Structure 1
Amino acid sequence: MWPIANDPAIREALLCAYEDGSWGRYHGPNVERLEEVLAEMHGVKHAMVCASGTIAVQIALRSLNAQDGSEVILAAYDFPGNFRAIQDAGLFPVLADIDPNTWCLDAGNIEAAISKSTVAIIVSHLHGGTAAMRQVNEIAAAHGIAVIEDACQATGAIVEGKWAGSSGELGVLSFGGSKLVTAGRGGAILTDRDDLLQRAKIYCERGNHAFPLSELQAAVILPQLEQLEIRNQKRSKSLSLLRKKLTDIESVLRPVVCSSEHPAFYKHAWLCESSQRAQHLTQLAIRDQVPLGEGFRGFYKRPSSQTRKVGLLQHSRDAASRTLLLHHPVLLQDEMVIDWLATWLRCAISEE
């Protein structure tokens, strides 16, 4: 079950918000404190919370003050909301292929995607994989392009020595109902730049903040941030055990390459050797109520009127049809559950 029921730290936070009346205020101590904690945690100057990770991406894009029709590069396999956020900001998506080992935008494909109209790159850390942020930033800096680092699936991860979400001009976090830190809904943008923060605030200002995170939501996020490292370590340990038990079937289920020295697993990906295998395992998981599911559909089928495609996008096509995802709550269970999951996967593969 997620979020964890009967968490005493969450109960205490809710009681405090009830007793001091902050739960019903426009402005109170919890949002202010959360923004301070997020900025300090990620080593950036500013954090601004908002209603969701999806709207955080759009706020980040709006803060760039780009001309309508300007291009934004993203992976052809990514969260659907990122594509829509680009369109909603009046910008034009450009698709580049992923690294097949990490499910993230391949930095080696960025140069070919850049045009004179490019203003930004959205780079998402997905399914336990992490993008090569140092290389992405070097390419972007050489062309005067902004980087938006989407860490919605990687809260608490360390990527090349920095907290996920802190490497680009802007970073994005999510506190959605299934995320590693949850308030049911919620998100945040991170940045060192005063001008980007100011533009973000102006975009959100409609008499009041148009896309707010409530005081009550902020109150329950704060204690979860204190627990995040311990829980991420537990998830990582469980996955190491699970992957070890499945090493001999990696020709059938190839796991994501975890290059982070301090990973965070919202989802964990395997690439099945065929789309038929992926569909079969997903159907069996639904039948047996196992927390496994399919990946994103990707954007490679979008028409040229909606996007510009760079290359064949083959790895993104494969990921869209052959990905199997494990959801994180099971990773907080004991070793017996992990043993059971490994056994289930073996049996499910043999059923085909």
Structure 2
Amino acid sequence: MPITIPPWPRQTPEIARAVTDCIESADWGRYESETKNALIVAIQSFFEATYVRLCCSGTAAIEISLRAAGVTNGDEVIVSAFDYPGNFRCIELLGAKPVLVDVSSENFGPDIDSVAAAASGRVRAVIASHLYGHACDIASLRDLCDENGWVLIEDACQAPGMRVNEKPAGSFGHLATLSFGGSKPLSSGNGGAILTSDDRIAARIAGMLDRPSDAFPLSALQASVLAPQLSELRKQNEQRNRIARQIHQQLNQMDSPLVCLAETRDGIEPAYYKLALRADSQAIRNQVVATAAEHHLPIGHGFRSMARSSERRCRKPVPLDRAEALANQICVLDHRALLIDESDVFELCQILGTP
């Protein structure tokens, strides 16, 4: 019997009811939407943010955050060489220069020593992403940014619901971003949000987006489907975390060329959009992906490294060896596969572990 991978996005009675209520109340056609306001309040509470601004995508949230941080032509922004490529492009879009740093050996975020070594008088901001269920060293990065007068943009687009020492991911940066893209654990097809608890930054965002109508809006219908998902997020994340731990344990017991890189550190409650698996070589990684595809498992390559980007496009003040290695060895299992029945975990690991 094939492994049953739950469809995504989920369709539940609660989501259907929320959409129906939005339509029947005509809230879907209003500028001032009660549905959107209710979602904002829910996000403020869940992520412990004073201000929440909904927008059209996670990438737009990064761009708006960079602008709110004061990034402009000639500035520099520090970012990991192993990160979502859209972050690199947003920096370039503003006429600023990405400064590439290496990946931490403890997680998939920027290495704190590399960030410190990348300091210059032109650095304005740092983007730090929580990737593959792992929390980056966000508290230390915040301290370093405060010491240098930099703005920390915490990219939580792939980690909604993660908690770090009992605080939600998205509550550490001067700014934080969320994504509600079609494949995300919180999905409205498209959409995003910017979070901050800084009054001045919030005022800058309002000044940029209110013209006077919202320049990068999320619709009321999109907001309506997010609220029910947010209320179920902790429960869904607990299931994903449980299955990730079982995959980690099962692959460890097998003579497998794959290592499951589940988040296991104390004080971290993971939130998986993708679960990372590391192969011994690029060839094995590619074979694992091909074999998994034959079994209709949602798996693909991880991010490519930006380390080979031209020196004209970016500054590279430190070696980027870990970023290069990860780009060649990592494959990632979609969060849908972490919602399978526990009885299917062994078979899934047999497929992954014997390419």
TM-score under structure 1 normalisation? Answer: 0.95
Q: Is the 8 A contact 2:256 2:354 kept in 1?
A: no
Counterpart amino acid of residue 246 in structure 1: L
Counterpart amino acid of residue 347 in structure 1: T
Q: Is the 8 A contact 1:298 1:316 kept in 2?
A: yes
CA distance in 2 between counterparts of 1:103 and 1:305 reads 26
Q: Is the 8 A contact 1:133 1:160 kept in 2?
A: no
CA distance in 2 between counterparts of 1:286 and 1:334 reads 19
Matched, 1:322 2:326: no
1:154–1:305 Cα change, 3 Å: same
Q: Is the 8 A contact 1:102 1:257 kept in 2?
A: no
Q: Is the 8 A contact 1:102 1:256 kept in 2?
A: no
Counterpart amino acid of residue 68 in structure 1: N
Partner residue of 2:315? Answer: 308
Counterpart amino acid of residue 81 in structure 1: G
Counterpart amino acid of residue 179 in structure 1: K
CA distance in 2 between counterparts of 1:142 and 1:125 reads 22
Counterpart amino acid of residue 135 in structure 2: T
Match among 218, 222, 226 for residue 231 of structure 2: 226
Map 1:1-352 to 2 at 5 A. Answer: 1-5=7-11, 7-249=12-254, 252-256=257-261, 258=263, 259=265, 261-348=268-355
C-alpha deviation, 1:254, in angstroms: 2.6
SS in 2 for 1:87: helix
CA distance in 1 between counterparts of 2:109 and 2:149 reads 22
CA distance in 1 between counterparts of 2:22 and 2:182 reads 20
Residue-by-residue CA offset, 1:180-228 (whole Å, 9 max, x unaligned):
1100011001101111112112222344212110000111100101000
**Number of aligned residues:** 347
CA distance in 1 between counterparts of 2:305 and 2:208 reads 29
CA distance in 2 between counterparts of 1:139 and 1:274 reads 35
CA distance in 1 between counterparts of 2:113 and 2:353 reads 35
1:223–1:250 Cα change, 3 Å: farther
Partner residue of 2:4? Answer: none
Q: Is the 8 A contact 2:262 2:275 kept in 1?
A: no
Residue-by-residue CA offset, 1:242-278 (whole Å, 9 max, x unaligned):
1111113587323325135211011010121111111
Residue-by-residue CA offset, 1:133-186 (whole Å, 9 max, x unaligned):
111111111111110000001000002331011101001111110111100011
Counterpart amino acid of residue 173 in structure 2: G
Gaps of 5+ in 2: 1-6
SS in 2 for 1:18: helix
For the aligned residue pairs, the C-alpha RMSD in angstroms reads 1.4
C-alpha deviation, 1:70, in angstroms: 0.7
Counterpart amino acid of residue 182 in structure 1: S
C-alpha deviation, 1:117, in angstroms: 0.6
C-alpha deviation, 1:230, in angstroms: 0.4
C-alpha deviation, 1:100, in angstroms: 3.6
CA distance in 1 between counterparts of 2:209 and 2:97 reads 22
Q: Is the 8 A contact 1:331 1:338 kept in 2?
A: no
CA distance in 2 between counterparts of 1:338 and 1:53 reads 32
SS in 1 for 2:354: helix
CA distance in 2 between counterparts of 1:162 and 1:316 reads 28
Counterpart amino acid of residue 33 in structure 1: A
1:345–1:66 Cα change, 3 Å: closer
Q: Is the 8 A contact 1:172 1:189 kept in 2?
A: yes
1:196–1:158 Cα change, 3 Å: same
Q: Moved runs in structure 1, 4+ residues, more than 3 A?
A: 248-251
CA distance in 1 between counterparts of 2:36 and 2:127 reads 26
Gaps of 5+ in 1: none
Q: Is the 8 A contact 2:240 2:339 kept in 1?
A: yes
CA distance in 1 between counterparts of 2:173 and 2:114 reads 18
C-alpha deviation, 1:337, in angstroms: 2.2
SS in 2 for 1:119: strand
Instruction: Select between 163-172 and 207-216 the one with higher mean Cα deviation.
Output: 207-216
TM-score under structure 2 normalisation? Answer: 0.94
CA distance in 2 between counterparts of 1:15 and 1:267 reads 31
CA distance in 1 between counterparts of 2:333 and 2:56 reads 26
CA distance in 1 between counterparts of 2:126 and 2:343 reads 42
C-alpha deviation, 1:345, in angstroms: 1.5
1:133–1:253 Cα change, 3 Å: same
Residue-by-residue CA offset, 1:282-320 (whole Å, 9 max, x unaligned):
122222211111011121111011100122201100111
